[in-house]
Structure 1
Amino acid sequence: MTKTILFDVDGVLLSEERYFDSSALTVWELLHSDQYIGIRPDIFKTNVTMEEIKEIRSTYFDDDRVLSFIKARGINANWDMVYLTSAYQIIVLLEQIMEEEGAFVQSFLQADINQRALLQLNQKLQNKVIELQLTSFVDDFQKGNATKGEMLPYLNRIAYEKLGVETDVFARNSSLWELCRETFQEWYVGDDMVEASTGKPTKQPGKEGFMQFEQPLADVNKIQHLFEQLNNQGFRVGIGTGRPKLETMEPLRALGLLPFIDEKRIATASDVLVAEQQCPDQAPLAKPQPYTYVLAWLGNDQPVEKVLNQSLPLVGEEIVIVGDSVADGLAAQTMGVTFVAVLTGLSGKKARPSFEEMGADYIIDNVIDIANIRFE
């Protein structure tokens, strides 16, 4: 029987920091750029220093409380993090103009929220005293028990509680979610590669991108040796990541890891997008849903329907998933396979209690420590 070991990328092989920075910059842009909501557009720019990025992330993610909370609730995709944070602030802004602009708020929440809708909101906010509420996200979401994919539609509940308006506009399959995704990609891959990533030119030029600043979480030679060792032990090495294909393949190639990886066992966010487009009623399919890892195990050339119809939990299969988040662990549990938790994600060693509580099979300090595990 073939043994398979599937690695997450961010927080396991590569640092997540630049991804979280890009997430914060995306929220910042959507709220402040005059191409979108345009609150104080004079503060927005695309040429930002690392010190400014640090300050923006600290402010808009409440010293990472927002990120930590979302990940603890089982959401692992940066696109979803951006969407949740941005959509929440839109609700906060609508609440502040509800008394004066009630009819607009009602109509705004009954139609798909696209760039044109954000510009209409921009106009309604002109000459009004409004404030973002950047420290209330966690408190409002903690009022409910929404986890994983339930968090996105839970925004509709928050909208009802704050505005008294029934709506189902907040969802994975929406123009706002797609706008969040495309804007995030602009920041992460930069002007030169954004069209290869999204199929569209950048909306706001001047973004250098972060791909050239990738930070491995262990010595590259040691990671190469680990993968070679796993191959020699009979493991088929694969990848199951929330990154799109471009941002997955280029770093793996640069790190010299592709020779040790079965490229048919690489599943990315690009594959998930294709599946969600083909089967929108199944969305969201990102982690903690098992789709990414099931596809990596079956092979990325398999039909979407076959992956979705795979009977779970798996029986009699030797599969190991290596991840840094609760979402990875939940996917592994759904599949009925071994989960190795790595303490190099956002919360570092502070994540250990969460992994112990969920019953991770192994908890290690660094991906290199896998060499010390004897999988039975």
Structure 2
Amino acid sequence: MFRTILFDVDGVLLSEERYFDASALTVWEMLYSQNYTGLTTETFEPAPEEAIIRRVRAEVFDNDNVLNFVKTRGINANWDMVYLTYSYHLIALLAKIAETNPTAVKEILTAQINRDAINRIRELAAGVAFEIDYVAFVTDFEKSTAEKQELLLYLNDIAHEKTGVTTDIFSRNSELWDLCQETFQEWYLGDRLIADSIGREAFQKGKKGFLDDEIPIVEPAQMAEVLAELKKRGYTLGIGTGRPRIETVEPLKAMGLLQYFDENRVVTASDVLDAEKRYPERAPLAKPQPYCYIKGMLGMECDDADCFALALPIENGDEVLVVGDSVADYMAAQSIGCKFAATLTGLSGQEARAKFEELKADYILDDMRGILTIL
């Protein structure tokens, strides 16, 4: 019988839609803003109207085909999605530049890509006839069987294929990944809150943020009723999410849901990043790695070294239930050896049922309210 229930947030409690919007806008900015790559085929603005946001997301993620693909391959973090998408198109641009300046491209691809390198790419791209091909992302990545964080490393293979340069600079531990992560945070939090997240003001001012525009999966009162009943029955409730702490705590608190979770078992992307800084040799620790759920299971006071030393799969797997909407959540639960309940409230909705049936998920629920029917 279960004793601990660990929830993902995006796609389970809160909608992922604004996260995906912010991801698309981040890629859009990094491709077209003069602060970044500065392609001139489109005009960038930091406070787009909703119609522009809808267009940008449809284009950047090829009507969500890109998002569906990377999630199916086990990528769940929006930061990774941004990094994969922007890096892919940056490589395509460098391949075009290499036609006339291969030496410069080799220099760029054999060192860390940071703001200085992107400024250099912008200079090299001036006057180069180049058009982004958003559809090509899935076509090129489908050539590989890479899953999870191996997708990030596969960028090195794509770079070699397109430019002829052998490189290993594309990985989770790269300056470009950090830059993508911080730029995404600017979009999601906006000018008002960004300093609390990344320790500096926004590089590009004028972003409103999406934190005040969160969308619950089901009515907050109905989720509260379910969570209250679980607490009444004696279950320990925790969270393992790819959201940073402020983006987890604030909306759940505003909806009256945070109170039902053991504060010692709320593990966020902020905690994952901190652990990666303390143990860089362990990175990446984001889902589908099981770290956030292990930490939630053992408690925040548990030392990271003890989390890493935990023998997997655990002996008492029947006592722990992970509730998530993605393949990455499923993979994390599999690593731990605990039970997994898939909710059909993520990006693919009911269409995800076939995938979770194929994976033989322990439970498949229309939404989180179904938990009470399986206990």
Please confirm whether the aligned pair reaches a TM-score higher than 0.5, indicating the same fold.
Answer: yes
Map 1:116-131 → 2, pairs under 5 A: 116-131=116-131
Q: Partner of 1:43: helix, strand, or coil?
A: coil
Asked if the contact 2:312–2:336 (Cα under 8 Å) also holds between the matched residues in 1, the reply is: yes
Q: Under a length normalisation based on structure 1, what TM-score does the superposition of the two structures give?
A: 0.98
Map 1:133-172 → 2, pairs under 5 A: 133-172=133-172
Q: What is the match of residue 362 of structure 1? A: 363
CA distance, structure 2, for counterparts of residue 81 and residue 372 of structure 1: 34
Shift of 1:303: 1.9
Return 5+ residue gaps in structure 1 as ranges: none
Asked if the contact 1:342–1:364 (Cα under 8 Å) also holds between the matched residues in 2, the reply is: yes
CA distance, structure 2, for counterparts of residue 42 and residue 205 of structure 1: 19
Show structure 1 runs of 4+ deviating over 4 A.
Answer: none
Map 1:256-335 → 2, pairs under 5 A: 256-317=256-317, 318-335=319-336
Q: Structure 1 residues 270, 342: closer, same or farther in 2, change over 3 A? A: same
Q: What is the match of residue 373 of structure 2? A: 372
Q: Give identity over the alignment, percent.
A: 50
Deviations 1:157-213 (A, max 9, x none): 111111111100101011100000000000001100000011111011111100111
Letter in 1 for 2:311: S
Q: What is the match of residue 337 of structure 2? A: 336
Asked if the contact 1:2–1:236 (Cα under 8 Å) also holds between the matched residues in 2, the reply is: no
Map 1:108-123 → 2, pairs under 5 A: 108-123=108-123
Q: Partner of 1:349: helix, strand, or coil?
A: helix
Q: What is the match of residue 351 of structure 1? A: 352
CA distance, structure 1, for counterparts of residue 43 and residue 313 of structure 2: 50
Shift of 1:118: 0.4
Return 5+ residue gaps in structure 2 as ranges: none
Q: What is the match of residue 100 of structure 2? A: 100
Asked if the contact 2:96–2:130 (Cα under 8 Å) also holds between the matched residues in 1, the reply is: yes
Asked if the contact 2:41–2:131 (Cα under 8 Å) also holds between the matched residues in 1, the reply is: no
Deviations 1:313-366 (A, max 9, x none): 111241000000000001001111110000000000011111111110000111
Shift of 1:42: 6.2
Deviations 1:262-320 (A, max 9, x none): 00000000011011111112111100000010011111222221112211111124100
Map 1:187-202 → 2, pairs under 5 A: 187-202=187-202
Q: Partner of 2:131: helix, strand, or coil?
A: coil
CA distance, structure 1, for counterparts of residue 350 and residue 16 of structure 2: 15
Q: Partner of 2:191: helix, strand, or coil?
A: coil
Letter in 2 for 1:66: V
Map 1:166-181 → 2, pairs under 5 A: 166-181=166-181
Q: Structure 1 residues 358, 2: closer, same or farther in 2, change over 3 A? A: closer
CA distance, structure 2, for counterparts of residue 345 and residue 93 of structure 1: 32
Shift of 1:99: 1.7
CA distance, structure 1, for counterparts of residue 97 and residue 149 of structure 2: 29
Q: What is the match of residue 254 of structure 2? A: 254
CA distance, structure 1, for counterparts of residue 177 and residue 100 of structure 2: 28
* Mean Cα deviation higher: 293-302 or 9-18: 293-302
* Mean Cα deviation higher: 41-50 or 278-287: 41-50
Asked if the contact 1:34–1:41 (Cα under 8 Å) also holds between the matched residues in 2, the reply is: no
Map 1:233-248 → 2, pairs under 5 A: 233-248=233-248
Q: Structure 1 residues 56, 223: closer, same or farther in 2, change over 3 A? A: same
Q: What is the match of residue 57 of structure 1? A: 57
Q: CA RMSD in A?
A: 1.1
CA distance, structure 2, for counterparts of residue 306 and residue 102 of structure 1: 48
Shift of 1:252: 1.2
CA distance, structure 1, for counterparts of residue 44 and residue 348 of structure 2: 29
Q: What is the match of residue 70 of structure 1? A: 70
Q: Partner of 1:230: helix, strand, or coil?
A: helix
Asked if the contact 2:2–2:321 (Cα under 8 Å) also holds between the matched residues in 1, the reply is: no
CA distance, structure 2, for counterparts of residue 175 and residue 319 of structure 1: 36
Shift of 1:41: 7.6
